[in-house]
Amino acid sequence: MDESKLSAPVRERLAEIRRLAEAASDKPAALGPDVDVSRFRTVSERRRVESIASLEKQVRETVLMSGFTAEEEAERSASFFQMDRTPIYERVMDAFGGAVEVTGTEEAMAAHPEEMVERYWWRAVAPDKDKYTALVALHQTEGYFIRVKAGAKVEKPIQACLFISESNVSQNVHNVIIVEDGAEANVITGCNIHAEVREGLHAGISEFYVGKGATLIFTMIHNWAEDFSVRPRTGVIVEDDGTYVNNYVLMRPVKSIQAFPVARLEGARSRAVFNTIVTGLADSVIDLGTETQLIGEGSRSEAIARTVSRDRSVVYSRGRLVGRTDDCKAHLDCRGIVRSPESTQWAIPDLASEGAPGAELSHEAAISPIAEEEVYYLMSRGVPKDEAVSMITRGFLDLEIPGLPPALRRQIDRALEEASRESM
């Protein structure tokens, strides 16, 4: 992007972002284990492809586990695929060409520089939040840009995949999703690595903007490896009568992941829903949570988390609700099962009413074993004990997630089945 062609205020803002990021380049995160980002080199460039079907079979099978399909015409309205550093494939189906814009963020910045910087670029996430945001601000390696035009109702999901095919790299993506006034969109994203990748870092900035009367259903499926570290940073802004639904699923081991997305319900009658399903395996350190700031009158929020830990995993399940208006209501529901004497779980609800005596905030948090009476009930009907435990674990994790297409529902069901079998 040629900054000399930009207006003075936009150039000043870009310079400010760089200054803030440089000052925070060594700033540790408030939560989660520290990662030495200097250990990793930048991901490589890749060649573009003409179709998803042309990707090697192993890659197609891996990304299918996160809901990304090559059957685009029948099941998706648009697709974005980034391999390491390069967006290798973007396509909007003909029927949705006037309603959806999908591209890499660098291309979006080049096409709409003034609009992006003034309204969307580092507006929902601070570039100096910690050294991971600074890493992306200073050494960005693309990311996706998705815009759904005002009033458009996009029935079929938009799919996006961020894929890493090499070890000892850092993929530093910056994603932006805009759902304009009155529009509706269902976005499915998967972050995956090649089966031969062992160690690395994924640092991802995601900024979501939900317009007046708009709805965004966002589903993220993570598939990582036992030596891979992940540091997403997400900010969401919801305007009047807007709705944001976030679904997150983690069923594979990871070295460590720490994320605490923040939704700001700025608009009147705005709404946010978070559903989280996590299984901790091997030596994973998983520190996940959500924060909802209820600012607009009549704003509402609900956050539900189901976590199972086994092996030597450590799982933190956090939730924070901040009421800033008298007319707001929100609830947290965090429940966990510890399946191994060597694993640890923390459930940490956090409620605050800031100058809002009328705010209604509540929580339920519980960590408990599988109820023996449920196991005995199934055993009394001929179900072997191990299978009974597997069935109960699967049922505990099986949240009713709204807005999932049937194909992704089947993928999650398979992942739940595998996770529950592993708990036997």
Q: Higher pLDDT residue, 183 or 63?
A: 183
Look at residue 223 in the predicted model and tell me its pLDDT: 86
Residue in this structure with the two tokens 């929580």, named with its chain if needed: 363
Look at residue 407 in the predicted model and tell me its pLDDT: 64
Query: Tens digits of per-residue pLDDT, 210-241?
Result: 999 999 999 998 889 899 999 999 999 999 99
Bridge partner list, 366? 335
Look at residue 208 in the predicted model and tell me its pLDDT: 98
Look at residue 422 in the predicted model and tell me its pLDDT: 54
- Label residues 35-51 b or e (16+ Cβ within 10 Å = b): bebeebeebeebeeeee
Gap between the terminal Cα atoms of the chain:
54
Look at residue 416 in the predicted model and tell me its pLDDT: 67
At residue 120 the predicted structure's pLDDT band, cuts being 50, 70 and 90, is: very high
- Give the mean pLDDT of 380-387: 81
- Give the mean pLDDT of 56-81: 82
408 pLDDT above the threshold of 90: no
145 pLDDT above the threshold of 80: yes
Look at residue 61 in the predicted model and tell me its pLDDT: 81
- Give the mean pLDDT of 77-89: 94
Written as six digits, the tokens of 342 are 């060597």
Edge-first strand listing for the sheet containing 158-164: 86-92, 78-83, 158-164, 184-193, 215-222, 243-250, 271-280, 299-309, 328-338, 360-367
73 pLDDT above the threshold of 70: no
Written as six digits, the tokens of 208 are 């979501």
100 pLDDT above the threshold of 60: yes
Query: Tens digits of per-residue pLDDT, 267-323?
Result: 999 999 999 999 999 999 999 999 999 999 999 999 999 999 989 999 999 999 999
405 pLDDT above the threshold of 70: no
As a whole number, the mean pLDDT across the chain is 91
d(CA 243, CA 57): 37
Q: Are 269 and 296 in contact (CB under 8 A)?
A: yes
d(CA 262, CA 372): 38
Instruction: Write a three-state SS string for the chain.
Output: CCHHHCCHHHHHHHHHHHHHHHHCCCCCCCCCCCCCHHHCEECCCCCCCCCHHHCCHHHHHHHHCCCCCCCHHHHCCEEEEEECCEEEEEEECHHHCCCEEEEEHHHHHHHCHHHHHHHHCCCCCCCCCCHHHHHHHHCCCCCEEEEECCCCECCCCEEEEEEECCCCEEEEEEEEEEECCCCEEEEEEEEEECCCCCEEEEEEEEEEEECCCCEEEEEEEECCCCEEEEEEEEEEEECCCCEEEEEEEECCCCCEEEECCEEEECCCCCEEEEEEEEEECCCCEEEEEEEEEECCCCEEEEEEEEEEECCCCEEEEEEEEEECCCCEEEEEEEEEEECCCCCEEEEEEEEEECCCCCCEEEEEEEECCCCHHHHHHHHCCCCCHHHHHHHHHHHHHCCCCCCCCHHHHHHHHHHHHHHHHHCC
d(CA 416, CA 406): 15
d(CA 98, CA 92): 9
CA atoms within 13 A on the CB side of 298: 9
The alpha carbon dihedral of 85, 21, 207, 28 has a sign of positive
Q: Are 232 and 206 in contact (CB under 8 A)?
A: yes
Look at residue 216 in the predicted model and tell me its pLDDT: 97
Look at residue 210 in the predicted model and tell me its pLDDT: 98
Look at residue 119 in the predicted model and tell me its pLDDT: 97
Look at residue 150 in the predicted model and tell me its pLDDT: 97
- Give the mean pLDDT of 129-151: 98
d(CA 354, CA 366): 26
d(CA 134, CA 120): 17
For residue 342, which of 290, 383, 281 has the smallest C-alpha distance? 281
**Could you give the dihedral angle defined by the CA atoms of residues 272, 155, 180 and 97, in that order, rounded to the nearest 10 degrees?**
150
Q: Are 268 and 299 in contact (CB under 8 A)?
A: yes
At residue 51 the predicted structure's pLDDT band, cuts being 50, 70 and 90, is: confident
Highest mean pLDDT among 65-69, 237-241, 395-399: 237-241
Calculate Rg over the CA atoms of the chain.
21
144 pLDDT above the threshold of 80: yes
Residue in this structure with the two tokens 């540091």, named with its chain if needed: 231
Look at residue 70 in the predicted model and tell me its pLDDT: 79
Look at residue 29 in the predicted model and tell me its pLDDT: 97
Look at residue 385 in the predicted model and tell me its pLDDT: 79
Share of the chain above pLDDT 70, in %: 94
Look at residue 302 in the predicted model and tell me its pLDDT: 96
Lowest pLDDT segment from 39-43, 58-62, 97-101, 177-181: 58-62
- Dihedrals phi, psi of 93, to nearest 5 degrees: -60, 150
411 pLDDT above the threshold of 70: no
What is the maximum alpha-carbon separation in the chain?
Answer: 76
Cβ-based neighbour number of residue 375 at 10 Å: 17
Look at residue 266 in the predicted model and tell me its pLDDT: 98
Query: Tens digits of per-residue pLDDT, 333-355?
Result: 999 999 899 999 999 999 999 99
At residue 386 the predicted structure's pLDDT band, cuts being 50, 70 and 90, is: confident
162 pLDDT above the threshold of 70: yes
d(CA 6, CA 121): 15
